[in-house]
Amino acid sequence: QVQLRQSGAEVKKPGASVTVSCKASGYTFSDSSIHWVRQAPGEGLEWMAWSNPSGATVFAQKFEGRVSVTTDASINTAYLDVSRLTSDDTAIYFCARDTRGFIDFWGQGTLVTVSS
C-alpha cells in the first residue's frame, strides 16, 4: 500500500536548521510530485513548497530563500530543509504526494519544535 514515512520529531534552537525526510513506498516515486505543508499548533494548514521528478521547485513567497526541497529518486526519498529557524517555525511538517495535479496522500507528519 502507499506509504509516505517521515523522519522523527526534532527539537532545534533558534537560528538552527532542520531537515525532514519523506520516504515513499507502494507506488512509482518518479511518477509523482511532492508537496510540503505545515501546521502550527492549533492552527490550519499552510502550503510551503512543491517539487517534481525533474527537479523543478516552487515555494510560497514567505519561504523563499529559507526553505529548500530535494529528492533522491534512488531511494524514493524527498527532503525539506528549513534554515534560520525561529519559534514561529514550531509546527508539524507534512509531505504529501501529488500524482494528478493535487495532493492525494499525506505522510504522518514530523513535529519540529524550536526552543532555546
Partner 1 sequence: IQMTQSPPSLSASVGDRVTITCRTSQAISVSLAWYQQKPGKAPKLLLYAASALGSGVPSRFSGSGSGTDFTLTISSLQPEDSATYYCLHYYLTPNSFGQGTKLEIK
Binding status of residue 27 toward partner 1 by CB under 8 A: no
Give the shortest CB-100-to-partner 1 separation in angstroms.
Answer: 7
Give the shortest CB-50-to-partner 1 separation in angstroms.
Answer: 5
Contact stretch for partner 1 (CB under 8 A) within 22-30, 41-49, 73-81, 82-90: 41-49
Give the shortest CB-85-to-partner 1 separation in angstroms.
Answer: 21
Binding status of residue 54 toward partner 1 by CB under 8 A: no
The single residue listed with the C-alpha cell 524527498 is: 78
User: What's the N-to-C CA distance of the chain in angstroms?
Assistant: 40
Binding status of residue 38 toward partner 1 by CB under 8 A: no
- The residue (of 13 and 100) whose beta carbon lies closer to partner 1 is 100
Q: Which residues, at least 6 apart from 14, have a Cβ–Cβ distance to it below 8 Å? A: 85, 86, 87, 114, 115, 116
Select from 1, 62, 61 the least CA-distant residue to 26.
Answer: 1
- The residue (of 106 and 113) whose beta carbon lies closer to partner 1 is 106
Query: Which triple of cell numbers denotes residue 62?
Result: 514567505
Q: Which of residues 97-116 bind partner 1 (CB under 8 A)?
A: 100-109
One-letter amino acid at 84 equals: R
**Cα separations (Å) of 33 from 36, 48, 64, 91, 95?**
10, 14, 19, 22, 10
Residues near partner 1 (CB under 8 A) are 35, 37, 44-47, 50, 58-61, 94, 100-109
